[in-house]
């Protein structure tokens, strides 16, 4: 049984759990999200959903930088909507987890301890894996 974890963003992280074991990590462009879901037809998709946060934490002081961040968050929100729509079309259960609900980012060493993954990873693939980790055995 395949569970797909997704961390949507400019560099979208994808994590594949098969029968509870982390089997693959990949980074794809947002345009490839639909293809990944359609090609693998997972039993479930779990994704980090920025729309579930009531506000964005930022210490940005300049207005132009704050506006750029707002545009970036808006893009991620749109990709979250896309994931939900693709999964609905394919009748695949999908649900989002808030960034806060996912928990803090983990470095490669801690990630290996938690998941048993010994291959290469990056911030995006680790986030994708961690968002799906609690559901890796779900049906």
pLDDT digits (tens, 9 = 90+) for 5-16: 999 988 999 999
Tens digits of residue pLDDT in 75-128: 677 889 999 999 999 999 999 998 888 888 999 999 999 999 999 999 999 999
Note the pLDDT of residue 62: 75
* 69 contacts 20 by C-beta, under 8 angstroms: no
């Amino acid at each position: 049984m395949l569970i797909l974890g997704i961390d949507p963003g400019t560099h979208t992280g994808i994590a594949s759990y098969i029968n509870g074991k982390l089997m693959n990590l990949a980074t794809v462009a947002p345009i490839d999200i639909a293809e990944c879901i359609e090609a693998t037809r997972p039993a479930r998709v779990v994704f980090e959903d920025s729309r579930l946060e009531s506000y964005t934490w930022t210490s940005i002081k300049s207005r132009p930088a704050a506006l750029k961040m707002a545009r970036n968050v808006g893009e991620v929100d749109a990709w979250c909507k896309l994931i939900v729509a693709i999964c609905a079309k394919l009748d695949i259960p999908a649900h989002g987890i808030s960034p806060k609900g996912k928990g803090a980012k983990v470095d490669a060493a801690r990630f290996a301890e938690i998941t048993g993954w010994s291959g290469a990873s990056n911030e995006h693939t680790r986030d994708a894996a961690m968002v799906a980790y609690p559901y890796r055995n779900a049906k």
